[in-house]
């Protein structure tokens, strides 16, 4: 095995992404449970005690899994950092994301700053993924494994497209004042979500193939 540290790190990063996928699924289930069993009274959603218990259990599970996924991902990036400089940049981006999350969680933070921290945290996560893929693509030259490299670069390009579409949406809303209920916003939103889903699936596939390559 040429890069045992990166092999261990990518395995952990892949596991963290699977956990985050489960978090997303549970979050959607939670929303559907509330929507399907709730009653709107005075602009508030009221649910039964039984439904509330289920929602709370799912909410706790989501928080625990998200924290575990975050820690596993951090350990994975740290494990990879010495095999290629790109992983070091991924680590810096991950640490930046931690800082943004901490600032957002400070009691009394105003809504505007909280939104900015959320946006910056998302960008930090995207850049971390970008540099992880770059690092694996660089390591693939040592095998060589052109298919893994091509898949990593494809995933990286899709991440850039996702970032570009999100930036365009923000510009349309903030600069040009386009309503978030308008047809243009809806179309752009559908495009953005579609690209995000595709990029995430390809990212998981790239990590899976990277694990196989690094195991040699």
The three-state (H, E, C) secondary structure of 147-168, written as one string:
HHHHHHHHHHHHHHHHHHHHHH
CA-CA distance, 154 to 144, in Å (whole number)? 17
Query: Any bridge partners for residue 171, and if so which?
Result: none
In whole angstroms, what separates CA 145 from the centre of its chain?
A: 26
Q: Residue 21 class from Cβ within 10 Å (0-12 exposed, 13-18 middle, 19+ buried)? A: middle
| Residue span of the structural domain in which 191 resides | 4-214
Per-residue pLDDT of the chain (216 residues; tens, 9 = 90+): 788 899 999 999 999 988 888 888 888 787 777 666 654 444 455 556 667 787 788 888 888 988 898 899 999 999 998 888 999 999 999 999 888 888 877 777 777 777 778 778 878 888 898 899 999 999 998 888 889 999 999 888 888 877 777 666 666 655 555 555 556 666 766 766 677 778 788 888 899 999 999 988
CA-CA distance, 204 to 201, in Å (whole number)? 5
Q: What are phi and psi of 215, to 5 degrees?
A: -75, -10
Domain total for the chain? Answer: 1
For residue 16, count other CB atoms closer than 10 A to its CB.
22
E-only strand ranges, 20-147:
39-41, 44-46
Looking up residue 192, the CATH number of its domain turns out to be 1.20.1070
For residue 175, count other CB atoms closer than 10 A to its CB.
8
pTM above 0.85, yes or no: no
Q: Residue 133 class from Cβ within 10 Å (0-12 exposed, 13-18 middle, 19+ buried)? A: buried
């Amino acid at each position: 095995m040429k890069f045992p540290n990166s092999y261990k790190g990518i395995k952990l990063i892949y596991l963290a992404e699977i956990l985050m996928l489960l978090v997303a699924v549970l979050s959607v289930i939670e929303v559907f449970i509330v929507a399907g069993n709730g009653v709107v009274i005075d602009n508030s959603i009221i649910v039964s005690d039984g439904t509330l218990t289920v929602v709370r259990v799912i909410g706790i599970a989501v928080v625990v899994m998200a924290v575990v996924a975050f820690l596993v991902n951090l350990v994975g990036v740290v494990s990879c950092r010495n095999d290629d400089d790109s992983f070091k940049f991924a680590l810096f981006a991950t640490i930046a994301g931690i800082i943004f999350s901490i600032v957002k969680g400070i009691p009394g933070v105003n809504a505007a700053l909280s939104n900015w921290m959320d946006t910056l945290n998302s960008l930090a996560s995207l850049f971390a993924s970008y540099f992880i893929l770059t690092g694996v693509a660089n390591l693939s030259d040592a095998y060589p494994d052109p298919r893994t490299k091509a898949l990593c670069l494809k995933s990286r390009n899709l991440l850039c497209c996702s970032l570009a579409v999100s930036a365009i949406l923000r510009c349309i809303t903030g600069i040009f004042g386009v309503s978030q209920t308008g047809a243009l916003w809806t179309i752009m939103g559908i495009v953005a979500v579609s690209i995000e889903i595709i990029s995430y699936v390809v990212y998981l596939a790239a990590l899976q193939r990277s694990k196989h390559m690094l195991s040699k």
